[in-house]
Amino acid sequence: MPDTDPEVAEIVCGWPKARARTVVLFSVALTLLGASTASSQVFFRDQFDSPASLAQYTVIGEQFISFFPPPLHTVEATNGQLKIQTAAVFPNGSGNPPVLLGSALLMGQNTTFGSGFSSTLSSNSGLVSWAFNVANQDGSFNNGFDFVLASTHLNPRTAGAKGYSLAGGGLVGNRMMVRRFDSGLNIGSAIIIDLTNGLAPLPQAGSFRITFNPTNSEWKLLGTYGTSFQEPTGVTELLGTGFDALYASQDLPFWGFGGHTTGTDVFDNVTVSIIPEPGSAEFLLAGTLMMFAVAFRWQSLGQRRPKRPSER
């Protein structure tokens, strides 16, 4: 019977057993790391597949003190997307002031998200993530859009409302801003992230994700532009960062999104989730397995059998 080399007997599917064990450990560790970063707990998602999805929002339209025109906005879920259209009217005749501009905000309550989500941003166990698709088209005036991340008031345009939002569209050029508002959505705001080269009007379409880290109060804006929407929860390109914690420890139970001035706004795939932080159990377990894999491989290399005289 021929002498069988012990190392040949250690081959498993073309790999030495020590190396095979190492590969298994690395694979498990990487799987856990991927799961802890990619998997998130989704608390809300709306793909606007049906007009019935609009029933979960309170639509807040334009409001005027001295004029009472017919609604200057329409809101509909069509073709799997939310479409908001706004218009303008001159109550004293065309070209004569004032001009009344349309507006529509779809507002909801994050207190309905269930166990695991806190309306006090700093109390959440991981990154708070708001992801969405948006596109806009100007009308007779520059169209604008807002994504209200968190607010003290159901109507964030109310004087005294505080919170955080993303604004775009109706600013100078294609500017976009993540900002804190201190006395109504467009009053007394502080800019957290300022993006001068933001989303342009249609045919450009944007896919964005905004995150808040309750550990250090860091805000991030991630996104991508193109001629079609991408899955917004998967965007990774960092567009800007900033820090603000002024209202993060306050109860901010309302959130929403909408358009204003004149033109069309389109939203889709609106998602709110919590993403585990690097200090979570999944990260710690994956890191431990990584260390074991490295140590095991190092040990196996140090215990390789010496060559026999016949092999020298």
pLDDT digits (tens, 9 = 90+) for 190-199: 999 999 999 9
Do the strands 11-12 and 15-16 form a parallel or antiparallel pair, or are they unpaired?
A: antiparallel
Pick from 301, 258, 280: nearest CA to 134: 258
Q: Is 304 exposed, middle or buried (0-12, 13-18, 19+ CB in 10 A)?
A: exposed
Average pLDDT rounded to a whole number, residues 104-132: 97
- For the stretch 278-296, pLDDT in tens is 654 444 554 454 455 444 4
pLDDT at res. 310: 52
Least confident piece of the model among 19-23, 50-54, 115-119, 159-163: 19-23
Average pLDDT rounded to a whole number, residues 263-291: 73
Pick from 293, 286, 270: nearest CA to 44: 270
Residue 85, phi then psi, degrees to nearest 5:
-120, 135
Average pLDDT rounded to a whole number, residues 20-37: 45
Q: Tokens in use for 284?
A: 């710690």
Cβ atoms of 146 and 105 within 8 Å: the answer is yes
- For the stretch 201-220, pLDDT in tens is 999 999 999 999 999 999 99
Cβ atoms of 102 and 141 within 8 Å: the answer is no
Give the whole-angstrom CA distance, residue 145 versus residue 261.
9
pLDDT at res. 173: 81
3-state SS assignment for residue 37: helix
Phi-psi map region of 263: left, alpha, beta (phi>0 left; psi -120 to 50 alpha)? left
Give the whole-angstrom CA distance, residue 184 versus residue 192.
16
- For the stretch 219-261, pLDDT in tens is 999 999 999 999 999 999 999 999 999 999 999 999 999 999 9
Structure pTM?
0.79
